[in-house]
Amino acid sequence: GSGGFRKRKHDNFPHGQRREEKENVNPPSALMKSFKSFQLELDTRHDKYERLVKLSRDITIESKRTIFLLHRFTSAPNGEEILSESEVKLDAVRQKIKQVAQELIGEDMYQFHRAISPG
């Protein structure tokens, strides 16, 4: 007829049944534990990848700054000062490279190759 109520597909099921089905799901099941461990492993790997990307960017930036500083060496009157400043910058680059090496201890370097190759 001309009534306003329209029957939906889920109206065939008793209303309480869905709630009971959700309560019967056992969260500490072996499958859920496996997925939690996979999630933790992937999150850890992603965090390490992001740290390596940041270190690589820092290495690139500091290396460029050092190169530009050394380009001024021939035209600047204070050559010794420029050389000592560039040595300090290169020490910072060396420290970052050591940090990259420490992050990669016990890891397959090829999994993180794209993160560190620019630096």
Q: Is 5 part of any domain?
A: no
| Number of folded domains that form the chain | 1
CA torsion through residues 58, 63, 64, 68, sign: positive
CATH number where 84 lies: 1.20.58.190
Task: Encode pLDDT of 20-38 as tens digits.
Answer: 555 555 557 888 888 999 9
Q: Is 101 part of any domain?
A: yes
Q: Is the separation of the CB atoms in 117 and 59 below 8 Å? A: no
Q: Is 95 part of any domain?
A: yes
Out of 12-16, 69-73, 97-101, 114-118, which region has the weakest mean confidence (pLDDT)? Answer: 12-16
Q: Is 60 part of any domain?
A: yes
Whether 15 has a pLDDT exceeding 90, the answer reads no
pTM above 0.75, yes or no: no
Q: Is 79 part of any domain?
A: yes
Whether 118 has a pLDDT exceeding 70, the answer reads yes
Q: Which domain holds residue 112?
A: 47-116
Q: Is 51 part of any domain?
A: yes
